[in-house]
Amino acid sequence: MKRSLLTLVGTRPVKRIGVALLWVALVTVGSACAGSARPRTASSVDHNTLKPEEFGQRPFNSAFEAIESLRPNWLYRRGSESDVQVYVDDTHLGGQGELRTIRLSSVAVIRHLDGIQATARYGLGHDNGAILVTTRAAGR
């Protein structure tokens, strides 16, 4: 005569294991969905954006000087022969040398796009990314 596993173990231990597994699953899902313990504050620095609050604290003349001092990694070439491309108010200027011609007093914000983001937005030739400068006149 064959006995089923349920008869040998009994129903109570099986139910307890099932309930315990359900609780473990709920705790795991709940902790995975929980937000960060650190609230985002206004003093958090966005490393892909330079705002006047940051570059206005020092005597920089050009956008290049500010980026070279505050975000030097934006200017590094990463294995490609192409230069970091520069856009002012969505108009392509050229390579990073063009940043020397942009007076910082006319700049509202400077943003950096990595190579993947820049290539997706502007096409080939942006392997090392792009620097987007928004002037005060265009930012209004």
Enumerate the domain spans of the chain.
1-36, 49-139
pLDDT digits (tens, 9 = 90+) for 42-83: 556 788 999 999 888 889 999 999 999 999 999 987 777 778
Topology at the third CATH level for domain 49-139? Ferric Hydroxamate Uptake Protein; Chain A, domain 1 (2.170.130)
pLDDT computed for residue 71 by the predictor: 94
Q: Give the torsion sign (CA, 47, 90, 98, 54).
A: negative
pLDDT at site 135 = 94
State residue 41's pLDDT score: 54
pLDDT at 15: 67
Which residue has tokens 């173990």?
9
pLDDT at residue number 121: 96
Between 31 and 131, whose confidence is greater?
Answer: 131
- pLDDT band of residue 14 (cuts 50, 70, 90) is low
What percentage of residues in the chain have a pLDDT greater than 70? Answer: 72
- DSSP assignment of the chain, as one string? ----HHHHH-HHHHHHHHHHHHHHHHHHHHHHH---SSPP-TT---TTEE-HHHHTTS---BHHHHHHHH-GGGG---SSSSPPEEEETTEEEESGGGGGGSBGGGEEEEEEE-HHHHHHHH-SS-TT-EEEEEEHHHH-
CA distances in angstroms from 23 to 10, 16, 19, 86, 99, listed in the order given = 21, 11, 6, 54, 57
φ, ψ at 12 (rounded to 5°): -65, -50
